[in-house]
Amino acid sequence: MRKIYLVGFMGCGKSVIGRRLSYFLKLPYYDMDREIVRQQGMTIPEIFEKYGEEYFRKVETDFLRNFRDEACIISTGGGVAVNEENRKIMRKTGLVFYLDATFEDIYKRIKNDKNRPIVQKSSKSELEQLYFQRRKFYRAVGHIRVLTENRSKRQIVEYIGFQV
């Protein structure tokens, strides 16, 4: 079995669903941001502040290029699908699920998050713009789109779990 990637905007539930899916499918789970934080020895806001977003994007691509060849579940960062090479790697090495949530649901979850530099520097309407700009990339990379609105975590996990 190949990798299972979860993609989508910040706050769409990738990490929570990833962890639960890992129990459901009995596969190891990796949170890409967390792996990067461990590798770099810095938090995401520190990486952005010290080296800038462009550096962070390179680290994301390196991660995807080099991550171990193993059947597992990976929740990706919300910006990963924007890069074409990243999209190619994910589609080639795994099955990609796009977790599609409404902007209002997302905004409620992320608005006070200090650990997300993009949220820190953006207004609500800027975030909403980014959300709409990025949808085409999530759609392009996702093999399967998962509508999360009004669905419980359990329903989402089962929906994904029974398709792999």
Task: Name the minimum Å distance from CB 52 to ligand S3P.
Answer: 12
Per CB under 6 A, the list member of 5, 20, 21, 79 interacting with ligand S3P is 79
Residue 141 and residue 146: Cα distance in Å, rounded? 13
Secondary structure of 76-112 as H, E, C letters: CCCCHHHCHHHHHHHHHHEEEEEEECCHHHHHHHHCC
Rounded least distance, CB 70 to ligand S3P, Å: 21
Buried b or exposed e, range 52-75, using 16+ CB within 10 angstroms: eeeebbebbeebbeebeeeebbbb
As a whole number of Å, the CA-based R_g of the chain is: 15
Does 87 bind ligand S3P (CB under 6 A)? Our answer is: no
CA-CA distance, 26 to 35, in Å (whole number)? 20
Q: What CA–CA distance (Å, rounded) separates 24 from 161? A: 7
* Smaller CB separation from ligand S3P, 1 or 139: 139
For residues 12 and 5, the answer to whether their CB atoms sit within 8 Å is no
Residue 116 within binding range of ligand S3P, rule CB under 6 A: yes
Residue 118 lies near ligand S3P (rule: CB under 6 A): yes
For ligand S3P, give the closer residue by CB, 34 or 154: 34
Query: Applying CB under 6 A, does 81 fall inside the site for ligand S3P?
Result: no
Q: Does 10 help bind ligand S3P (rule: CB under 6 A)?
A: yes
Query: Contacting ligand S3P (CB under 6 A), which of 13, 18, 94, 117?
Result: 117
- Could you tell me how many residues of this chain bind ligand S3P (CB under 6 A)? 10
Residue numbers at the binding site for ligand S3P (CB under 6 A): 10, 14, 33, 44, 77-79, 116-118
